[in-house]
Structure 1
């Protein structure tokens, strides 16, 4: 070592130092890789433990919104608005008066319908009374026919006698036993008897026709009242139905709240003439609100109706927790009910994870303590474990 020059020694020392540095670097690298592997293993184990102990027992989403079966308040008659008794955001109870319409025309219609009903009742009563009179007319026509028959019989007897007298006189004319004047008198008597017979026969036919007319009038009258009373006659029933409709239309001039809730989107003003079916306002039943949570389809494998749910709203924060239950699933995804559905049958198809609305019923007592409004955002946590 003493024979080596100082430069060689320094080179050897530098090489040895580099080797030591490389060894330390490799050792440190191994330690880092070991720490990284341990960290990954720890994270994987933690995620696995979280998934087994917690995540697999929950289905969570913040894509959820408050909904309610909103009641539309519409007019069912055409009339001017006389008074509007509520404002937007006002709470109302079922049966509270919301709008009053001018009922002048409706009251007149009721009075007219009442008069029509009384007229129909009197008409039916008249038809029933007429039936007896028409029966009497038929009896009178029968008597007329009998009298006409008797007159025909008498006229035929007179005609037969006149014909016999004429035949006898004709036989005696050639012998001179009967004068021409007498023959003329007998011939005239024959002609009068024949005319009387034809007149009697015509009177009999007229009496029979009059009876047929009376029978037809009676049958027509009876058809109007057959198997009915005054109250059950179709004409009276139709008039009574028209009166009921007029009274209903009068009642409809007072528009009432169909459900308990909050008035929203009031669109009616005093003096406005509303038409049937026109929406005047909405009544939102906030006390019966629900939540539609839009879960990804891959998150719904273990979600079942009846499972408990915890919810928080952005309105009240995490301090207010709502409790509910899964009611069921929508019949289709949002894309399926879109106005322009996706054309997945085309060649340019890209798979997109769909979301399916899940209906959640809320606790009415919690809703009463902390009211929600339609459209508010909610955070949903479905408890999958039992």
Structure 2
């Protein structure tokens, strides 16, 4: 009889325990639901009011490095800089032996003087040839007079022979006189032929002189000493020789720091030989490699804050988005990715974003090419 009350008591306690567990579970689920609601509200507030930036630590300092190359061939006479040395624009970096260049300059100067003298000689030749043409004209006039005289003598001899022939029929003259008249005609004819040949020779000489004059005039017609082609070519050679002499002294094209110097005194260089590089540390930029999913709201001219691992978070740089690269890093890789395969796995691509830095901040805290940067772009800025 004592077992029944005990069982009844156990059933009551189990029911109370189940109710307590259900109450705790319901309270926990309500608390968890409240946390989810608060998280959703906080995310909405952050997305609407505070999500105005994107950042990455995949960013590195870069620069438009100036390569110093030789423009002339020759032996290096002097190297005035070392690696890590700071230089200013116009500072002398390297001197190449200038003796060969000076010889070429002297040759070019001599060629110019020769061309100028040849022009003056051509002018003098024109005057001389004009005089020769005049002389040949006088010779033609004289030869023409000789022809006219010989023609008159020939006509007179022919007329005398005709009269002698008429008199010879009647026997009024002797055969000797007739023979003399015939000889006179032959002599007059020979003199006429000789005079005509002299006239032809004088005419040919004048034509030759006129042709020589025309050829000489063609060389100097429409030009002066400064614009004649031979003088212009000689001047161009002189300018080139002068430039080659100037190029034996190699100067820094920009302000910066010398890097990768690989030239030594006594080394012979050829045009195009790379001697060193000058890194313009006052004109550095940052290439930030953002994920493609981060770039939807990134625009040019947006403001950027940056920090370098070199200085830590205590030094903050300010910059501006300059532009976007023409392709992702993988697109310009030496061996581009081949995604048209059955084993393709999607990889989030990164696009380089060029960021310009404040020169004043760079002067206060210099950077170097290749340093790592932390980049944060303010999407709300213009």
Per the TM superposition, whether the score is higher than 0.5 is yes
Length-normalised TM-score, structure 2: 0.93
Deviation at 1:12, TM superposition (A): 4.1
The residue aligned with 1:97 is: 92
Equivalent pairs, count:
381
Q: Does 1:27 align with 2:27?
A: no
Q: Over residues 33-59 of structure 1, what are the superposed CA-to-partner deviations in whole Å (9 max), with x where a residue is unaligned?
A: 2333233333333333333332x2112
The residue aligned with 2:2 is: 5
Q: Over residues 171-190 of structure 1, what are the superposed CA-to-partner deviations in whole Å (9 max), with x where a residue is unaligned?
A: 34444433333333322222
Deviation at 1:347, TM superposition (A): 7.7
Deviation at 1:354, TM superposition (A): 3.1
Q: Distance in 2 between matches of 1:87 and 1:174?
A: 123
Q: Does 1:145 align with 2:140?
A: yes
Q: Does 1:53 align with 2:52?
A: no
Counterparts of 1:29-44 in structure 2, within 5 Å, are: 29-44=25-40
Q: Does 1:133 align with 2:128?
A: yes
Q: Distance in 1 between matches of 2:193 and 2:280?
A: 91
Which secondary structure does the structure 2 equivalent of 1:100 belong to? strand
Length-normalised TM-score, structure 1: 0.92
Q: 2:164 aligns with which of 162, 165, 169?
A: 169
The residue aligned with 1:364 is: 359
Q: Distance in 2 between matches of 1:178 and 1:297?
A: 134
Q: Does 1:223 align with 2:227?
A: no
Q: Distance in 2 between matches of 1:137 and 1:161?
A: 36
The residue aligned with 2:310 is: 315
Q: Distance in 1 between matches of 2:100 and 2:162?
A: 87
Deviation at 1:316, TM superposition (A): 0.9
Q: Distance in 2 between matches of 1:266 and 1:113?
A: 34
Q: Distance in 1 between matches of 2:121 and 2:279?
A: 55
Name stretches of at least 5 consecutive residues in structure 1 with no aligned partner: none
Q: Does 1:118 align with 2:141?
A: no
Name stretches of at least 5 consecutive residues in structure 2 with no aligned partner: none
Pair 1:154–1:64, CA change in 2 (3 A): same
The residue aligned with 1:290 is: 285
Worse-matched range after superposition: 124-133 or 142-151: 124-133
Worse-matched range after superposition: 70-79 or 179-188: 179-188
Q: Does 1:337 align with 2:332?
A: yes
Q: 1:208 aligns with which of 167, 190, 203?
A: 203
Deviation at 1:320, TM superposition (A): 0.7
Which secondary structure does the structure 1 equivalent of 2:368 belong to? coil
The residue aligned with 1:305 is: 300
Q: CA RMSD in A?
A: 2.1
Worse-matched range after superposition: 195-204 or 289-298: 289-298
Worse-matched range after superposition: 169-178 or 192-201: 169-178
